[in-house]
Amino acid sequence: MKKTSFRERFRAWDEDRFDLTERTTGDLNRPMRPAPTDRTVSDEPVQRLAVGEMRAFSRIYPILAAILGVVLIAFLLMTVYDLPPFGAANVPADNEVPARYVRDGMAETGAVNVVAGVILDYRAFDTLGESHVLYTALTAVLILLLSLRDAEPEPDPEDVLMRRDGILTTTAALLVPIIVLFGIYVLLNGHLGPGGGFSGGAIIGAGLILYAIAFGFTRLERMLNLKSFRIICLVALCFYSASKCYSFFCGANGLHTIFSPGTPGRILSAGLILPLNIAVGVVVACTMYGLYSIFQRGRI
Amino acid sequence: MRELLLRLWDSRIAVAAVILFAVGFVTLLLHRNLLKKIIGLNIMDTAAYLLLTSLGYIENRLSPIIQNGDTDPTRYVNPLPAGLVLTGIVVSVSVTAVMLALTVRLYQRYHSLNLDEIYASAQKEHGV
Amino acid sequence: MAFSVNVPLFAIVLCLVCSVVSSVLSGRAARRLSLALCAVVAVGMGMLLAYGMRTGVGTTYLMGHYPHPWGNELYFGVLEPLLLCAFSVVMGLCLLGGRKHLIEDLEDGKHRMYYVMSDLVLSALIALATTNDIFTGYVFIEICTISSCGLLMIRQIGRTTLASIRYMIFSLIGSGLFLLGVILLYAITGHLLMPNLKEAIGKLYASGQYRIVLLSAISLITVGLAIKSGLFPFHFWMPDTYGYATPASGGILSGLVSKGYIFFLLRVIFRVFGTDVFYRSGVSNILYVFGAIGIVVGSISALREKDVFRMIAYSSAAQIGYVYMGIGISPRLGVLAALFHILTHAITKPPLFLSAAQLSDTANGRLRANWRGAGHRNRIAALTFSICAFSMIGIPLTMGFVSKYRFAAAAFERTALIVPTLIVLALSTILNGWYFMRVIIALYLPVNRDDGAQRSALRKQGVYAISAIVFVLMNIVCGVAAEPLVLLLERGLGLL
- C81 near A CB under 8 A: no
Is pLDDT at A26 greater than 80 in this prediction? Answer: no
- The residues, any chain, with a CB within 8 Å of residue A227's CB and separated by 6 or more, are none
C143/A238 CB distance under 8 A = no
Q: What is the mean pLDDT of chain B?
A: 88
C135/B87 CB distance under 8 A = yes
Is the same domain home to A122 and A173?
yes
- Per-window interface: C 90-129 vs A, CB < 8 A: 104-110, 113, 116-117, 120, 123, 127
Q: How far is CA C214 from CA B15, C36, C198, C272, in A?
A: 17, 44, 12, 12
Q: CA–CA separation, A78 vs A61, rounded Å? A: 25
**Confidence category of residue A156, pLDDT binned at 50, 70, 90:** low
Q: If you write DSSP's letter for every residue of C280-332 in order, what string do you get?
A: HTTHHHHHHHHHHHHHHHHHHHHHH--BHHHHHHHHHHHHHHHHHHHHHH-TT
Q: CA–CA separation, B30 vs B114, rounded Å? A: 12
- The residues, any chain, with a CB within 8 Å of residue C36's CB and separated by 6 or more, are none
Is the same domain home to A78 and A114?
no
Question: What pLDDT, on a 0 to 100 scale, did the predictor assign at position A47?
Answer: 37
Locate the chain B residue with the closest alpha carbon to C171.
B95
Q: What is the mean pLDDT of chain A?
A: 77
- Whether C201 and C274 have beta carbons less than 8 Å apart is answered as yes
- The residues, any chain, with a CB within 8 Å of residue C476's CB and separated by 6 or more, are C387, C397, C398
Question: What pLDDT, on a 0 to 100 scale, did the predictor assign at position C233?
Answer: 84
Q: CA–CA separation, C253 vs C265, rounded Å? A: 17
Question: Domain range spanning residue A173?
Answer: 108-297
Is pLDDT at B111 greater than 90 in this prediction? Answer: no
Q: What is the pTM of this model?
A: 0.90
Is pLDDT at A213 greater than 70 in this prediction? Answer: yes
Lowest-confidence segment of A30-44, A98-112, C274-288 by average pLDDT: A30-44
Q: CA–CA separation, C379 vs C374, rounded Å? A: 8
Locate the chain A residue with the closest alpha carbon to C3.
A253
Q: Each residue of C290-322: pLDDT tens digit?
A: 999 999 999 999 998 888 999 999 999 999 999
Q: How far is CA A181 from CA A186, A200, A269, C170, C303, in A?
A: 9, 10, 21, 41, 63
| SS3 of residue A239 by DSSP | helix
CB-CB neighbors (< 8 A) of B28 in chain C: 169, 172-173, 176
- Whether B125 and A38 have beta carbons less than 8 Å apart is answered as no
A49 compared with A218, residue with greater pLDDT? A218
Interhelix angle for C7-22 vs C111-130, to 10°? 160
Torsion of CA C245, C251, C253, C255, to 10 degrees: 160
How many helical (H) and strand (E) elements, i.e. helices and strands, does chain C have? 23, 2
Winning range, highest mean pLDDT, from A50-59, A108-117, A249-258: A108-117
CB-CB neighbors (< 8 A) of C147 in chain B: none
- The residues, any chain, with a CB within 8 Å of residue B17's CB and separated by 6 or more, are B47, B48, B50, B51, B54
Distance (Å) from the C-alpha of residue A1 to the closest C-alpha of chain C? 27
Q: Find chains touching chain C: ≥3 CB pairs under 8 Å.
A: A, B
Is the same domain home to A130 and A248?
yes
Locate the chain B residue with the closest alpha carbon to C175.
B45
B87/A51 CB distance under 8 A = no
Q: How far is CA A229 from CA A276, A293, C19, C24, in A?
A: 18, 12, 15, 10
Q: Which residues of C195-224 are buried (b: 16+ CB within 10 A; e: fewer)?
A: bbbbebbeebbeeeebeebbbbbbbbbbbb
Residue C331: half-sphere exposure toward Cβ, Cα within 13 Å: 19
**Confidence category of residue C144, pLDDT binned at 50, 70, 90:** very high
Is the same domain home to A64 and A171?
no
C470 compared with A25, residue with greater pLDDT? C470
Count of CB atoms situated within 10 Å of the CB of A265:
15
Question: What pLDDT, on a 0 to 100 scale, did the predictor assign at position B30?
Answer: 85
Is pLDDT at A241 greater than 80 in this prediction? Answer: yes
Question: What pLDDT, on a 0 to 100 scale, did the predictor assign at position A12?
Answer: 59
- A114 near C CB under 8 A: no
- B63 near A CB under 8 A: yes
**Confidence category of residue A24, pLDDT binned at 50, 70, 90:** very low
Nearest to A233 by CA among A147, A136, A135, A162: A135
Is the same domain home to A77 and A161?
no
Is pLDDT at A4 greater than 50 in this prediction? Answer: yes
C404 compared with A49, residue with greater pLDDT? C404
Question: What pLDDT, on a 0 to 100 scale, did the predictor assign at position C267?
Answer: 93
Per cent of chain C over pLDDT 90 is 62
Per cent of chain B over pLDDT 90 is 40
**Confidence category of residue A217, pLDDT binned at 50, 70, 90:** confident
Question: What pLDDT, on a 0 to 100 scale, did the predictor assign at position C35?
Answer: 94
Local structure of residue A33 (DSSP, 8 states): P
Q: What is the mean pLDDT of chain C?
A: 89
| SS3 of residue A185 by DSSP | helix
Q: How far is CA A81 from CA A84, A155, B22, C35, C190, in A?
A: 8, 59, 16, 52, 18
B87/A130 CB distance under 8 A = yes
Is the same domain home to A179 and A221?
yes
Q: Each residue of A220-235: pLDDT tens digit?
A: 887 778 888 888 989 9
Give the residue from A21, A77, A97 with the most B CB atoms within 10 Å of its CB, the best one to mutate.
Answer: A77
Give the closest of C139, C161, C187 to B91, CB-based: C139
- Per-window interface: B 4-33 vs A, CB < 8 A: 4, 7-8, 10-15, 18-19, 21-23, 25-27, 29-32
- Whether C224 and C182 have beta carbons less than 8 Å apart is answered as no
Is pLDDT at A151 greater than 90 in this prediction? Answer: no
Question: What pLDDT, on a 0 to 100 scale, did the predictor assign at position A82?
Answer: 84
**Confidence category of residue B127, pLDDT binned at 50, 70, 90:** low
Locate the chain B residue with the closest alpha carbon to C134.
B84
C-alpha gyration radius of chain C: 22
Average pLDDT over residues C125-139: 93
Residue C485: half-sphere exposure toward Cβ, Cα within 13 Å: 23
Is the same domain home to A173 and A59?
no
Average pLDDT over residues C74-78: 91
Q: Each residue of C318-376: pLDDT tens digit?
A: 999 999 999 999 888 999 999 999 999 999 999 999 999 988 887 777 888 788 888 88
Per cent of chain B over pLDDT 70 is 98
C136/A36 CB distance under 8 A = no
Q: Each residue of C414-471: pLDDT tens digit?
A: 888 899 999 999 999 999 999 999 999 988 888 765 555 555 555 567 788 889 999 9
Local structure of residue A122 (DSSP, 8 states): I
Is the same domain home to A76 and A117?
no
| SS3 of residue B58 by DSSP | strand
CATH of B2-126, one of 1.10.3720.10, 1.10.287.110, 1.10.287.3510, 1.10.10.60: 1.10.287.3510
Q: Each residue of A66-125: pLDDT tens digit?
A: 898 899 899 888 888 888 888 888 888 888 888 888 888 888 888 888 888 888 888 889
B108/A32 CB distance under 8 A = yes
Locate the chain B residue with the closest alpha carbon to A129.
B87
Supply angle C-alpha C292, C296, C299, rounded to 5: 135
Is the same domain home to A58 and A145?
no
CB-CB neighbors (< 8 A) of A191 in chain B: none
Is the same domain home to A258 and A114?
yes
B114 - beta bridge partners?
Answer: B33
Q: Each residue of B58-96: pLDDT tens digit?
A: 888 888 888 877 888 888 888 899 999 999 999 999 999
Q: Find chains touching chain A: ≥3 CB pairs under 8 Å.
A: B, C
Locate the chain A residue with the closest alpha carbon to B72.
A103
Domain ranges in chain B? Answer: 2-126
CB-CB neighbors (< 8 A) of B65 in chain A: 112-115, 193-194
**Confidence category of residue C179, pLDDT binned at 50, 70, 90:** very high
In-domain check, residue A15: no
Residue C92: half-sphere exposure toward Cβ, Cα within 13 Å: 19
**Confidence category of residue C30, pLDDT binned at 50, 70, 90:** very high
Q: How many domains does chain A have?
A: 2
Per cent of chain C over pLDDT 70 is 97
CB-CB neighbors (< 8 A) of A96 in chain C: 69
